[in-house]
């Protein structure tokens, strides 16, 4: 409360000075206009500092990981101040791609053909000018996997590449980590705005407003991506039926579940939900989620499961939306998610050995 009072007094003083210079005292013929604006500003500032700006909830399955994060990744215990004019979930989610900058990144593409006739496209940022790790064989490698319909050109991916470059050198699929356990060659992982329960995610996105803002658009993106290779699927899948899907659930029922050999969409959604395998993760994993994320409803976040695994840490903010986490007055250069990513990656690369000795 003492910190809150100090923040409120400071913000009120700054608002007063600003308004004295920007608003004429003669507004509405007297100083009443200035008083009204100042009063509203102070009230809004009080509401923001008392109800919006909060420290994230840190959930860990062991004291060692908790202490490690507090020592080397302190951002997860600091107050998160969402952008003061855009803190609501949908606003953060929609604005992030447009408002954040896109740092220039030059990739080297590698195309890997798989045994089943498919291919994997990897965009490498080699960071050959690294001053900290001149020898490429010892340079830490970070694997970034974009979300649904995402690419290596997404602004949040570019920011993570840029931050990795600064350090000199990981949304990772939790299903993979849960299946393979401690046998993975990966040293650590981080996920951002992961959908923990596919059924709950789908139900949330089918609410009218969410369908209008997100679901229908993502469905058309998925349809466009598979329609480019229509000739490869026509013998196995009714592509005309797929192209008539009006939601992600319909697309998954008509295409994804069929393509990967699931008997029903429920079987596919059950297998695709990472909350079932979180208890089996065998390396340090930090998972950042916002509890107001319409893509990943708060009631589906596996808090109790996370408490049972000493390798898992959940960082839950009150606001931030889906891959949003905007902060600052004009959040163009950096987000809270960027700061979590940078500190955690640096902590694991430089101090990860401490976890094994705790």
- At 184 the pLDDT is 87
Task: Give the other-Cβ count within 10 Å of 40's Cβ.
Answer: 11
- Burial of 291 (C-beta count, 10 Å sphere; 0-12/13-18/19+): middle
3-class state of residue 192 by DSSP = strand
Which tokens is 351 given? 């101090």
- At 29 the pLDDT is 46
Domains delineated in the chain: 1-46 (no CATH), 54-102+143-197+273-356 (3.40.50), 202-267 (no CATH)
- At 171 the pLDDT is 33
- At 30 the pLDDT is 52
- At 6 the pLDDT is 57
Q: What is the mean pLDDT of each run of 10 residues along the chain (358 residues)?
A: 56 54 49 74 88 96 94 96 93 88 83 84 81 76 76 74 67 70 88 94 96 95 91 92 97 95 95 92 95 95 96 97 91 88 92 81
- At 56 the pLDDT is 97
- At 12 the pLDDT is 56
- At 2 the pLDDT is 56
Consecutive H or E run containing 121? strand 119-124
Predicted structure pTM score:
0.83
- At 78 the pLDDT is 96
- At how many degrees (to 10) do helices 336-351 and 155-167 cross? 40
3-class state of residue 179 by DSSP = helix
- At 307 the pLDDT is 96
3-class state of residue 286 by DSSP = strand
Task: Give the other-Cβ count within 10 Å of 57's Cβ.
Answer: 15
Residue with tokens 């899907």: 245
Phi, psi (degrees; rounded to nearest 5) at 152: -70, -5
């Amino acid at each position: 409360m003492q910190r809150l009072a100090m923040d409120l007094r400071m913000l009120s003083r700054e608002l007063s000075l600003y308004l004295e210079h920007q608003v004429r005292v003669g507004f509405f013929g007297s100083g009443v206009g200035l008083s009204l604006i100042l009063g509203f500003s102070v009230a809004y500032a009080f509401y923001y500092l008392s109800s919006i700006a909060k420290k994230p909830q840190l959930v860990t399955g062991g004291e060692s990981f908790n202490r490690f994060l507090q020592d080397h990744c302190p951002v997860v215990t600091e107050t998160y101040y969402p952008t003061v004019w855009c803190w609501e979930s949908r606003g953060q989610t929609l604005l992030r791609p447009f408002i954040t900058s896109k740092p220039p990144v030059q990739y080297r593409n590698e195309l890997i053909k798989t045994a089943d006739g498919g291919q994997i496209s990897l965009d490498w940022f080699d960071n050959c000018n690294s001053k900290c790790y001149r020898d490429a064989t010892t340079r830490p490698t970070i694997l970034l996997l974009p979300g649904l319909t995402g690419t290596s050109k997404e602004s949040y991916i570019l920011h993570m590449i840029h931050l990795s470059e600064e350090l000199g050198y990981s949304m990772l699929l939790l299903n993979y980590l849960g299946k393979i356990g401690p046998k993975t060659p990966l040293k650590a992982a981080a996920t951002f705005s992961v959908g923990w329960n596919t059924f709950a995610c789908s139900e949330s996105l089918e609410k009218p407003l969410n369908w209008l803002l997100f679901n229908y658009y993502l469905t058309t993106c998925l349809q466009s991506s598979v329609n480019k290779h229509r000739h490869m699927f026509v013998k196995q899948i009714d592509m005309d039926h797929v192209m008539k899907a009006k939601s992600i659930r319909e697309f998954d029922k008509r295409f994804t579940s069929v393509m990967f050999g699931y008997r029903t969409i429920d079987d596919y959604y059950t297998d695709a939900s990472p909350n079932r395998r979180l208890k089996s993760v065998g390396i340090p994993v930090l998972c950042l989620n916002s509890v107001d994320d319409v893509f990943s409803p708060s009631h589906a976040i596996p808090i109790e499961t996370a408490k049972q695994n000493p390798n898992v840490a959940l960082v839950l903010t009150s606001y931030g939306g889906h891959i949003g986490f905007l902060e600052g007055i004009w959040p163009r250069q950096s987000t809270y998610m960027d700061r979590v990513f940078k500190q955690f990656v640096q902590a694991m690369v430089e101090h990860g050995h401490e976890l094994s000795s705790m």
